[in-house]
């Protein structure tokens, strides 16, 4: 007998191979030195980890952030740019993976999206489908 506690099949927690990034949203602060990154990932059975990298126009890392074993499928975090003068264009790389101590990282999803710093405020830079 199978008991399902979720009315919406999209909210049913999934095995690691079926976990993915559904949406990435950004909020560029008016000072253009901070970026709030909002993530929506598939509900999961095992807690995934994420690695976020922001690169400038010439590919140099401007900010990095690691989330080790996320508790929730929806969350936001603020990233601080290292550059004293922000570039006009950046690229966000989001890597969703699983790793246990002593084991190799298993990447289950990887998304890249460009965004601009010209207009502070909210931007959706990636949406599944």
Mean of pLDDT values over 29-52: 96
- The pLDDT of residue 129 is 63
In the chain, where are the structural domains located? 9-127
- Per-residue pLDDT at 63 exceeds 80: yes
- Per-residue pLDDT at 29 exceeds 80: yes
Q: Which residues contact 40 (CB under 8 A, 6 or more apart)?
A: 21, 22, 23, 24, 73, 74
Q: Which residues contact 2 (CB under 8 A, 6 or more apart)?
A: none
Domain 9-127 has CATH 3.40.50.620: no
Q: Do the beta carbons of residue 31 and residue 85 sit within 8 Å? A: no
Strands (E), the chain: 21-28, 34-41, 49-55, 61-67, 74-80, 89-98, 106-116, 121-127
- The pLDDT of residue 26 is 94
pTM: 0.87
Burial of 81 (0-12, 13-18, 19+ CB in 10 A): buried
**Over the stretch 64-96, which tens digit does the pLDDT of each residue have?**
999 999 999 999 999 999 998 889 999 999 999
- Coil, strand, or helix at residue 102? coil
């Amino acid at each position: 007998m199978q008991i399902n506690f979720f009315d919406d099949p999209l909210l049913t927690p999934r095995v690691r191979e079926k976990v993915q990034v559904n949406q990435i949203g950004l909020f560029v602060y008016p000072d253009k030195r901070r970026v709030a990154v909002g993530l929506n990932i598939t509900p999961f059975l095992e807690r995934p980890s994420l690695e976020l990298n922001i690169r400038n126009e010439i590919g140099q890392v401007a900010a990095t952030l690691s989330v080790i074993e996320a508790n929730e499928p929806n969350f936001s975090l603020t990233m601080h740019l290292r550059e004293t003068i922000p570039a006009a264009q950046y690229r966000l790389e989001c890597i969703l993976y699983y790793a246990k101590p002593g084991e190799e990282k298993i990447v289950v999803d990887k998304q890249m999206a460009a965004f601009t710093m010209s207009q502070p405020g909210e931007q959706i830079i990636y949406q599944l489908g």
